[in-house]
Every structure is written in C-alpha cells, then in structure tokens.
C-alpha cells in the first residue's frame, strides 16, 4: 500500500556503510519507509534489532528485502515485491559492493574469477537493479539515484604531481619496488578500483539517460571508513586514518535530504567534488 513517507531502498544494508546509512536516516525526525536490502534475510532482521536498540524511537518504518545483486532472479523478485507493497521507489541507494582482490593471493579465486566477481557485484548487478527499478523511480515526485563509489576510483589522483600536497595519495598510488612478484598489500585492489571507476561512468550514463525525467543522480564517495570492506580490522583501519563509519552514513543522509542537489551528476565527497 502506498505511503506518504519517502520509500528508500538500500542494498547491502545489514552491515558496514549500508547499516550506517539506514541508521542515519532512521535517527532523523523525517519519516521514511526504509527497506533494508540484504542477501540473507536473517542478517537484515538482526540489523533491525541492533538498530532499534541504538535508536530509541523513530517516525520511520523498517522492513527487510532479500536482494542479491549477483542474481537476476533475486533482483526481479525484489523489485516486484517493492512494487506490490509500495508502488514506487523515491530513493534507490546502490550500496552493495565487495572487493575480491584478496582472494587471489590466498588462493580462493583465480585472477579472472576475482575480476569478474568484482565487476559483477559492483557494476553489472547494480546496473541490472537500476534498470529494473527505474519504472518505480519515475513514479516518485522527487526521484533520487545514488551509487556508492570509492575515493580509490579517481584516475586524476593517480598523478604523482598531486601526492606532495596530499600524502595519502602517495600511499595509495606509489609504485612498489622493482621485481616480481609484487607484494599484496592493503592498498593493492586493482579489480575493486577499476570496477568503481567503471561505476562512476555508469552513474554518468544514468544521469544522462534520466536527465529529462527529473531524476537526480550521484556517485557518492563516502571516504576512508573503518568498515570490514577491505578485510582489515576496525582498529587497524583507524590507525591508518580511517573515519568512523557513521560519518559516511550521515553524508549519504545529507544527499538524500537535498544538501548536495547542486552537485547532481557528479562523483562527490563530503567536502568536495571528487576528481575523475
């Protein structure tokens, strides 16, 4: 049944940045229909229990949705469920993503398997879901489409001339010592970085395609957050300069609430437009 509350679907919402996005929206005084998309419904249910213990009260409504971006069957069923229950989507937050680069050195994936999985999860699945969801977005009075990208996707910032003023860029982009094989480190994520760069182009395509339909589109670069995405522990990431995950959630909430409408069609960070 249709509601006056804005309907927001967040993929990968049971953990990490996705959870923090839900929490930031749930904690506001604005009422939303928050749909927690997750591959495993029991994990989404657990996320709701934790959220309700952390936020005492909210005018928003929470629900769960089984959604796996690597499965067309799952995506089709998910969109059909949302259509039957809500009739529209006001905001789609394509947050689900993963890195598989670490699976190559530990032997659980071949190089090709890791690259294909990264692109399938971060780009292809996101594109399929967006395509299926567009008819529901166009039923919204203020449709918004968000793609969660990464600061590591910036090709401009691989330019060594920039590293002197921004030391973190050197840590991310500097070349290893000569010889082969090269060591695998926390900042060696070629499939993830290239997939997120591809996602930025996908965002630009959707911004172009939906411009005359009034859909506002962004790629959101949430910053270096202490989540489990890279496979490192939270404390280690904090020592490396990562931010608390709630900061990323609050940034996405600001975009939902219209505070970055002037930057629609761009890849954005909390304090700037991210260089391509």
| Enzyme catalytic residues | 150, 192, 196
Distance CA 91, CA 153 (A): 24
Distance CA 210, CA 12 (A): 24
Assigned token pair, 114: 């890791």
Distance CA 130, CA 146 (A): 10
Q: Which helix (H) or strand (E) holds 72?
A: helix 72-86
CB of 230 closer than 8 Å to CB of 2? no
Distance CA 265, CA 216 (A): 7
Sheet holding 267-269, edge to edge: 61-66, 32-38, 6-10, 91-94, 144-148, 216-220, 267-269, 272-273
What would you measure as the largest C-alpha separation in the chain, in angstroms?
A: 62
Distance CA 210, CA 110 (A): 37
The alpha carbon of 240 is separated from its chain's Cα centroid by a whole number of angstroms, namely 21
Q: Are strands 216-220 and 6-10 parallel, antiparallel or unpaired?
A: unpaired
∠ CA 185-199-192 to the nearest 5 degrees?
A: 15
**DSSP-based three-state secondary structure for 202:** helix
CB of 36 closer than 8 Å to CB of 15? no
């Amino acid at each position: 049944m249709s509601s006056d509350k804005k309907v927001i679907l967040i993929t990968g919402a049971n953990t990490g940045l996705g959870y923090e996005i839900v929490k930031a929206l749930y904690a506001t005084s604005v009422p939303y229909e928050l749909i927690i998309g997750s591959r495993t419904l029991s994990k989404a249910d657990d996320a709701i229990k934790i959220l309700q213990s952390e936020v005492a009260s909210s005018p928003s409504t929470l629900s769960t949705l089984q959604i796996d971006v690597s499965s067309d069957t799952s995506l089709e069923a998910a969109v059909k469920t949302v259509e039957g229950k809500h009739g529209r989507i006001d905001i789609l937050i394509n947050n689900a993503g993963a890195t598989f680069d670490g699976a190559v050195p530990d032997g659980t994936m071949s190089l090709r398997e890791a690259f294909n999985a990264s692109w399938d999860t971060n780009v292809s699945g996101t594109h399929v879901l967006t395509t299926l969801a567009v008819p529901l977005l166009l039923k919204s009075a203020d449709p918004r489409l968000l793609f969660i990208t990464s600061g590591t996707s910036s090709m401009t910032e691989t330019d060594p001339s920039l590293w002197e003023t921004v030391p973190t860029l050197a840590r991310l982009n500097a070349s290893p010592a000569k010889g082969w094989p090269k060591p695998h480190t926390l900042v060696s994520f070629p499939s993830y970085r290239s997939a997120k760069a591809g996602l930025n182009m996908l965002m630009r395509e959707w911004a172009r395609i939906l411009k005359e339909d009034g859909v506002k589109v962004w790629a959101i670069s949430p910053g270096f957050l202490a989540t489990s995405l890279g496979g490192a522990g939270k404390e280690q990431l904090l020592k490396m300069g990562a931010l608390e995950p709630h900061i990323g959630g609050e940034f996405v909430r600001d975009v939902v609430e219209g505070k970055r409408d002037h930057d629609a069609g761009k890849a954005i960070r909390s304090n700037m437009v991210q260089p391509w």
